[in-house]
Structure 1
Amino acid sequence: MLERLHREGREPGGAVCVIRDDVAEETMVGDRGDGTPWTSDTLVMTYSCGKPMAALAVLSAVAEGALGLDQPVAEAWPAYAANGKGATTVRHLLSHQAGLPLYPEAAAALEYDDREALVELLAGAAPVHEPGTRVAEHALTYGHLCDELLRRTAGEPVDERFARIAAANGWDLHLSVPADQLHRVADVVPVDPTWPQHYLQDPRWGPALGRPPGLLDPVVLNSERWRRTSFAAISLHASARGLARLYADLVPADGPVAELLGPDLHAELLRPQRTGVDGVIGREVTWTLAFQRDDLPGGRSEIGMGGAGGCSGWVSVGSDGTPGYAAAYVTRGLGDHDRGDQVWRALEP
C-alpha cells in the first residue's frame, strides 16, 4: 500500500512498521526532503502521536508516588485552581476531560517556545466545560499541562523524563530532538493543497491548533529551533520502528510499560475513562488515560493515537485482552488521514 501511495505521488517519504510475534517488518519509500532515502532510523514529526508519551511520563511519576491519579492538579500547582478548575484531577487531565482544549486568545501573540507564558495562561484559563463531565482533545495544551505537573511534583521536564524511559526500552522516540540526532530528521511538506487552511478555518480546530501561531507551518516545523523545543502535545519525532515498538510493548502484562507502571496502573492506563462526542474532534471518542480506544466487532479493540498530518500508531487487542500486531505509519507529507486509513485497512486480517 505504501509503495502505491508513493507511485501515485501522495507519499513523498515515509515508513510503515508492523510487529507481529516480536518480529518487525518495515516498508520505506521516498526521501527525507533532501534526496536522502528514507531509512529505518529516519525521524519525522508526528503531531499528536506524542500525547501518550507525555502521559506515560506523568504516569511513571504516579507509579513512584510523586502524585496521585485522582489528586487535584491544584494541590501541586495552586494557581491552576483559578476560574473553576480547582476540582480538576490528574485523571481528568490525562484523559482530555480537563476542559482546556485550547489556549486563551492571548496565546496568539506568544512564541511557541515561551513555555512560562503559555503555562501561566493555562493556569488562569477558564475551562470550556466542567472538568470531568465531557471530553475535548487538548490539542496543543496537553503537553504543557503534563510538563508543568511533572516539574512541580517530580522536579523534571516531561521531555527529559520520557527520554530516560524511551532510552531504557529502546524506543526511538523524542519529545525534543537531541542536537546529535538532528541529522536524522526528515523535512515535512504539504501534500494536501488545503494545508493548513482546512484546519485553521475550521471552527473547532482553528482555535485549538492556531495559537500560539506557526505550528502548522512547514518553515517553522523544519527549523532546528522547533525540533529542539519540547512542545509535548505535538513535538514527538519518531521512527516508524520506534513507534511500533512502543505499541508492541504497551499491552503485555509482563512488558516494559507494565513494568514501568505496575499492574494496577497499567490496567488503568488501558481502561476506557470516558466516551463521548469530543468537542474538538467532532465525533464520538473513547479516551483512556493516554490513548484513543476503538472497540470492534468480535470483542477486539484497537488502542492508538494519530496526529494532524497523517501519522499514527496502534496495537490490536483480542477479545481475551492479548495483543495482536502493533503498527505505525509515519510520513513527512502533511495531509489528512486518508493515507493512514488505507494503511490500516491493508493490515486488517
Structure 2
Amino acid sequence: MSTSSGFCRDEFAGVRAAFDEHLDSGAELGASLCVTVDGDPVLDLWGGHADEAKTTPWGADTIVNVFSVTKTMTALCALLLVDRGELDVDERVAHYWPEFAANGKGDILIRHLLSHTSGVSGWDRPIELTDLYDTEAAAARLATQAPWWEPGSKSGYHALNYGHLIGEVVRRITGRSLGRFFADELAGPLGADFHIGTGPEHADRIATLIPPQLPEFDLATLDQDSVLIKTLTSPLLDLAATSTPAWRAAENGAVNGHGNARSVARVQSLIANGGELSGKRFLSPTTIELIFREQADGVDLAILTPLRFGIGYGLPRPQTFPHLPDGRVCWWAGYGGAMVVNDLDRRITFAYTMNRMAIGLIGSDRCDSYLKATFDAVGGAR
C-alpha cells in the first residue's frame, strides 16, 4: 500500500517510491509532487500532514506558501505582456514607470528586473516586513532609491522585492494589481489553484510551515553595507509572520504565492508545452526563447551562490545543481525546498511543494531525489 495519495503512471513509479520513502521516514511532514508531460499530469501525488501535530492530513486541495516559486508566476505575467506587445524587455523601466528613473536608475531595463541584475535588490533602511504589504507604497519607495551596484553587470537576487518591481510595471501597463492580473490571465483560465494574495476563505486548507533548524550565526559580524546584508535584512523575513492573514493577503509576487504542486505545474507547464495549453495559446515560441537569453552567470551578490539567470528564470548550471537535466531547461526554487523545473526539450514540468522546510534558499536533498527519479524515468538525467 502506497503512503502517498493520488496517481502515478507506471514509468514514474521510482518517483513515487522516493516520495513515499521520505513520507515514511518523517523527512517529509506533508508535501505534494506533480509531473506533467505535454501539459498533462503523469504523476500527481500528495501525502503526510498539513500541521506539525499531525492532526490534519495533507489533502488533494492543501496549499502552502511556496516562497520564491512565486517569482516564476510573476515572470510569466511579464512574459504575457511581452507576447501581447505591451512590454519590451529591452526597454527602460522608466518608460512604463517614470518615477523609477530617480537616483541614477534611468537606464535600467525591464530585463534587468526580470534577471535580478537591476542593482535594486531590496529597500534602503529603515524598512519593516509589514511595510511590504502595501505593494504600491513599497514600490514607490524602491523608485526613489539609487542602485546598489552597476545595473546589468551582475546578479543580486531580488529576494523580497521582485514582485514589487515587476508588479508595478504590470500595474502601470494594465491598471491591475499583479495578483489580479495573474488571477484573470493565468490562474483563472487554467483552472489553477494558485494565488498571489490569498484570502481568508482559503485559510483552513493552508499547510503550516515548519521552519528549518538554522545554525547559530551572528549577522552583525558581516559588512552591514554589503549587498547580501542589505538584501536579506532590509527587511528580514520573519517566518512566524508568514502564517498571518496580513502576510497571506498581500500581493507579494516574490515570496507569498500559495498553491500546491498540481497548480504550480499547471501554470508553469505553459512554458514546457511551448506556450499552448488546453487548446489556447498564451505565449509564442519567440517570447519563450527570451527566457534563455543569458543575463548573468556567476556568484550572486545577494546570496553568494553561483547562479545563471535568463529572463525571468534560472538556467541550468551543472556545477551548482547537477540534478537538472541538459538542454532547454528553466527553473526556480522557493526558500525551504519548493521547486519548479520546465524542460522544453522533453516537454516536462516538475513541481514540488512541502511544509517541512530544509536549510538553504535553493533546493533540498529531498527535492534532488525526486528530480533525479523523474529524469531517470525519461532518460534525461545527467
- Same-fold call, TM cutoff 0.5: yes
- The reply on whether 1:338 has 2:365 as its aligned counterpart is yes
In the alignment, the residues of structure 2 paired with residue 109 and residue 299 of structure 1 have an alpha-carbon distance, to the nearest angstrom, of 38
Aligned-pair distance for 1:202? 9.3
- The reply on whether 1:272 has 2:294 as its aligned counterpart is yes
Q: Which runs of no fewer than 5 residues in structure 1 stay unpaired?
A: none
SS state at 2:146 partner: coil
Maintained 8 Å contact 1:51/1:232: yes
- Return closer, same or farther for 1:169/1:210 CA change in 2, 3 Å cut-off: same
Alignment of 1:1-349 (within 5 A): 1-21=18-38, 22-33=40-51, 35-108=55-128, 111-164=131-184, 165-190=186-211, 192-194=212-214, 206-213=229-236, 215-218=237-240, 220-253=241-274, 255-256=276-277, 259-294=281-316, 299-317=326-344, 322-336=345-359, 337-349=364-376
Which residue type is aligned with residue 341 of structure 1? Answer: D
Aligned-pair distance for 1:63? 2.6
Aligned-pair distance for 1:173? 1.6
So what's the TM-score if we normalise by structure 1?
Answer: 0.88
- Return closer, same or farther for 1:138/1:254 CA change in 2, 3 Å cut-off: closer
Which residue type is aligned with residue 177 of structure 1? Answer: T
In the alignment, the residues of structure 1 paired with residue 239 and residue 272 of structure 2 have an alpha-carbon distance, to the nearest angstrom, of 35
In the alignment, the residues of structure 2 paired with residue 38 and residue 237 of structure 1 have an alpha-carbon distance, to the nearest angstrom, of 15
Maintained 8 Å contact 1:42/1:239: yes
Question: 1:199-235: per-residue Cα shift (whole Å, max 9, x none)?
Answer: 967956553233334x3323x1112221111111001
In the alignment, the residues of structure 1 paired with residue 179 and residue 93 of structure 2 have an alpha-carbon distance, to the nearest angstrom, of 20
CA-based RMSD: 2.6
Which residue type is aligned with residue 136 of structure 1? Answer: G
Q: Which moved more, 1:252-261 or 1:269-278?
A: 252-261
- Return closer, same or farther for 1:205/1:310 CA change in 2, 3 Å cut-off: farther
Maintained 8 Å contact 2:122/2:159: yes
- Return closer, same or farther for 1:198/1:206 CA change in 2, 3 Å cut-off: farther
- Return closer, same or farther for 1:123/1:221 CA change in 2, 3 Å cut-off: same
Which residue type is aligned with residue 4 of structure 1? Answer: E
- Return closer, same or farther for 1:202/1:103 CA change in 2, 3 Å cut-off: farther
Which residue type is aligned with residue 229 of structure 1? Answer: A
Aligned-pair distance for 1:139? 0.5
Aligned-pair distance for 1:254? 5.4
Q: Which runs of no fewer than 5 residues in structure 2 stay unpaired?
A: 1-17, 377-382
SS state at 2:103 partner: helix
Q: Which moved more, 1:249-258 or 1:302-311?
A: 249-258
Aligned-pair distance for 1:177? 1.4
Aligned-pair distance for 1:110? 5.4
Which residue type is aligned with residue 169 of structure 1? Answer: L
SS state at 1:250 partner: helix
Maintained 8 Å contact 1:70/1:89: yes
Maintained 8 Å contact 1:17/1:329: yes
- Return closer, same or farther for 1:173/1:201 CA change in 2, 3 Å cut-off: farther
Aligned length: 341
Q: Provide the identity percentage.
A: 30
SS state at 1:303 partner: strand
Q: Which moved more, 1:67-76 or 1:102-111?
A: 102-111
SS state at 1:107 partner: coil
- Return closer, same or farther for 1:126/1:199 CA change in 2, 3 Å cut-off: farther
Maintained 8 Å contact 1:107/1:118: no
- Return closer, same or farther for 1:174/1:270 CA change in 2, 3 Å cut-off: farther
Maintained 8 Å contact 1:72/1:86: yes
Which residue type is aligned with residue 30 of structure 1? Answer: G
In the alignment, the residues of structure 2 paired with residue 134 and residue 123 of structure 1 have an alpha-carbon distance, to the nearest angstrom, of 20
Aligned-pair distance for 1:313? 1.0
In the alignment, the residues of structure 1 paired with residue 299 and residue 19 of structure 2 have an alpha-carbon distance, to the nearest angstrom, of 31
Q: Which moved more, 1:30-39 or 1:199-208?
A: 199-208
SS state at 1:276 partner: strand
Aligned-pair distance for 1:338? 2.8
Aligned-pair distance for 1:114? 3.1
- Return closer, same or farther for 1:206/1:200 CA change in 2, 3 Å cut-off: farther
Maintained 8 Å contact 1:250/1:256: no
In the alignment, the residues of structure 2 paired with residue 62 and residue 125 of structure 1 have an alpha-carbon distance, to the nearest angstrom, of 26
SS state at 1:27 partner: strand
In the alignment, the residues of structure 2 paired with residue 24 and residue 46 of structure 1 have an alpha-carbon distance, to the nearest angstrom, of 22
So what's the TM-score if we normalise by structure 2?
Answer: 0.81
SS state at 2:75 partner: helix
Aligned-pair distance for 1:153? 1.8
Maintained 8 Å contact 1:103/1:140: no
Maintained 8 Å contact 1:199/1:206: no
